[in-house]
Chain A
Amino acid sequence: MRRIKRTVRLTRRQFVAVSALSGAGLAIGCTVREKSGWDFLREDQASTLAAVCDQIVPADEFPSASQAGVLSYIDRQLVRHYRRHRDAYRTGLERANELSRQRFGKEIAALTAPQQLQIVIAIEKQDPEFFNLVRSHTFEGYYGSPRHGGNRDAVSWRMLGLAEPPLRGRAQYDLTKGTAS
């Protein structure tokens, strides 16, 4: 079974910095802890987004969106294929917290689950473009291929009763020999 761990993805600059640090660390004989973090999201943006995503796919006997790695998926794509959506996330998450502060005096991440649900219903109504973007990306991360950081341990596929990708067949045929026709 493939096991997808939450891995730390470093930008090139971070990599250089960490390499330098680890060199220094080795030199003085102490360990350097891996830095946790996101490629694109700030920590506060990540917790806001997690609150929204977890209303779109809440936890029941199976994990919620964030538990299944949806944030890793979205964060990773925001520095890859979804670079064009960066502004939408920046401003959308800000508007979402603004709404939350107006109604409950706190940011979304600090609310109770029923309050978060109310806010997400309000976002869907007042900010449909942003909501639909997050909804699509949440479903992609939850139900899509684990290779992109979401759907951790293929949890949604197991929830639906689907076998994990079986590599049937690959060993049966030597694909490198003989002509094709």
Chain B
Amino acid sequence: MKRVNAVVVGAGAAGGIVAKELSTAGLSVVLLERGQWYTANDCRKDDLRNQRTTVLGNAFGPEDDGNPRVVVDCRGVPHTVSPSEGSYSNNAACVGGGTLSYGAQAWRYLPQDFRMRSTYGVPIGSSLEDWPISYDDLEPFYEKAEYEIGISGDYSGTPFHGPRRRPLPMPPLPPNREFEILEPAAKRLGLHPFHLPMARNSIPYNGRGPCMRCRWCCGFACEVDAKNGSQNTVIPTALATGNCELRTQSTVKEILTDDRGRARGVSYFDANGHLQEQSADIVVVSACATESARLLLNSKSRLFPNGLGNRNDQVGRHLQGHHYTGAIGYFDFETYDDVGPGASIAITDYNHGTKGLCGGGMLANEFIRLPIHMVDRLPANTPRWGLGHKQAMRDFHKRSIVIIGPTQQIPTADGRVTLDPTVRDKWRMPVIRLSGNVHPDTFDIGVVQAERAEAWLKEAGAVSTSRMAGRPATVSAGQHQAGTCRMGNDPKGSVVNRNCQIHDVDNVFVIDSSVHVTNGGFNPALTIMAVAYFASNELVRNWKGTGFRS
């Protein structure tokens, strides 16, 4: 196959941006994606089969057969799980990756989120660290992401955000009923509520129309293509340059290296299951935190017996997602207006500054709950089944509000991705083994966040509330997975440098949530995108014709 300048592994939030930035700069690019390209016409409003409710499988991959993982719980017991099970920590396998079907909250992290160690010290048993780049380094790239991908919202209600040069490109969607109930309550509590940022058109933008406000949003592809991901923004732009070729249903097996220890390309299984080789000057790994780590670990050779970039046993460590906690409030009046996407109002007052505890998180009302989500979220004294349960469904489905948020996790070196010694996937490659758990301090702040959500709901008129602050028995990763190829200046404690370039090999880059040192108290998509723009910019700047010199 014809040699190209860059092969990018994974067409998700980051890979799409890298492909677009490199191809518009004149580099030839092959973008490999293991899943398919779905469009708005593939939108199925299926409450039981989507990326959020997966009882009948994932709508956008991977399929359950042939893609197992092993999850070791906190008692040390391994379980073999399939992609539709929660502990698998799946992220969609398709063009657009998670951004095809995400809820599309598009947050900037706060300046403190990049300096967690400096702000809080290192809790015992944790691997808390600062990023080697700052909010100010990323700010122009956050802005670029906001304008190229298309973000609506309005930060003007809160002082708790980093400095920004331009407002968001689109105004927020008009408030739904939950917004109108929650906003005055938050203000009475002295908080600073505002219209949360979303990668969703509120007005025509980028040649596509606005949100039609249906209730099938988070977990679904958008029927009218008003939700913005890499599949309907940067990837079409990349392909339009003529410099980028997208190959779907292509699963990368390993990164190939030469005798001098430099990457020469990748091998992958194509749509027909044949093993192919694509040679390239640069390899960019953008396969998401779990799969990127797996690909590096599976790329073993004489010079790299423990996997690529893994000389110091850092690949796969510090795996983190978000510890979601909050509360549900039950009201004696209707709170539900069937106007999507549902999530509309947020506060960032509690992301930092809780005395004696580390971090915190954003709190927002939840995406619309479909009836199937409600069956286990009824008031505590409700019968689990029978007439009483049926009556409670009628009483509370339209009279309840959930406030919940992604509590920032304190990373540990033991939360990790390794290769399972025995289980193989359909390509006979070793599968991911997830192990470790959540740092106990994260659970503590999670409870405080849930109490705050309850207080907000009560102020808004909730008759009763139930706290949602579980303690999962497995490592937390999920769709917000991050941290497995940490960015850092010291090669002993990190995998890539500040430009996302592997310390060991100068022509291999990891550009996705794997490089997040910490994961903020926010949905990570916009930060993944900003880092991808930042790293692509450095890559293009340092590109010298046919070779790469850093």
Residues of A within 8 A of B (CB): 55-58, 60, 62, 77, 80-81, 117, 135-136, 138-140, 143-145, 147-148, 156-157, 159-163, 165-166, 168-170, 172-173, 175-176, 178-181
Interfacial residues of chain B within 343-389, with CB under 8 A of chain A in the complex:
370-372, 374-375, 384-387, 389
A175 adjacent to B40 (CB under 8 Å): yes
A56 adjacent to B48 (CB under 8 Å): no
A81 adjacent to B57 (CB under 8 Å): yes
Known: A148-B48, A163-B338, A179-B236; 20 extra A-B contacts, CB below 8 A, are A55-B386, A56-B386, A56-B389, A58-B386, A58-B387, A81-B56, A138-B385, A143-B372, A143-B393, A144-B371, A160-B398, A161-B397, A166-B214, A170-B224, A172-B209, A173-B225, A175-B225, A178-B207, A180-B236, A181-B236
A180 adjacent to B232 (CB under 8 Å): yes
Known: A57-B390, A175-B41, A179-B236. Is A77-B56 also a contact (CB below 8 A)?
A: yes
B interface, by DSSP: helix, strand, loop or mixed?
loop
28 contacts between A and B (CB under 8 A): A57-B385, A58-B387, A62-B390, A81-B55, A81-B64, A136-B55, A143-B371, A143-B372, A143-B374, A143-B375, A144-B47, A144-B48, A144-B371, A145-B47, A145-B49, A148-B48, A160-B393, A162-B371, A165-B216, A169-B209, A169-B214, A169-B223, A170-B224, A173-B224, A173-B225, A175-B41, A181-B206, A181-B234
- A139, A170, A176: which has the most chain B beta carbons within 10 Å? A139
Q: How many residues of B contact A (CB 8 A)?
A: 48
B48 adjacent to A140 (CB under 8 Å): yes
B48 adjacent to A145 (CB under 8 Å): yes
Q: How far is the CB of A174 from chain B (nearest CB, A)?
A: 11
A165 adjacent to B45 (CB under 8 Å): yes
B137 within 8 A of A: no
A55 adjacent to B236 (CB under 8 Å): no
A-chain residues with CB within 8 Å of residue B216 when the two chains form the complex: 165
In the assembly, what is the distance between CA of A147 and CA of B372, in Å? 14
Indicate which residue in B46, B215, B370 contacts A147 across the interface (CB closer than 8 Å): B46
A175 adjacent to B371 (CB under 8 Å): no
B371 adjacent to A170 (CB under 8 Å): no
Known: A145-B47, A148-B56. Is A172-B384 also a contact (CB below 8 A)?
A: no
In the assembly, what is the distance between CA of A132 and CA of B45, in Å? 26
B56 adjacent to A179 (CB under 8 Å): no
- A60, A62, A143, A178: which has the most chain B beta carbons within 10 Å? A143
B215: nearest chain-A partner, CB-CB: A162
A160 adjacent to B234 (CB under 8 Å): no
In the assembly, what is the distance between CA of A117 and CA of B398, in Å? 29
B-chain residues with CB within 8 Å of residue A175 when the two chains form the complex: 39-41, 224-225
A-chain residues with CB within 8 Å of residue B391 when the two chains form the complex: 60
In the assembly, what is the distance between CA of A161 and CA of B371, in Å? 11
B423 within 8 A of A: no
In the assembly, what is the distance between CA of A136 and CA of B385, in Å? 10
Q: How far is the CB of B376 from chain A (nearest CB, A)?
A: 8
B207 adjacent to A180 (CB under 8 Å): yes
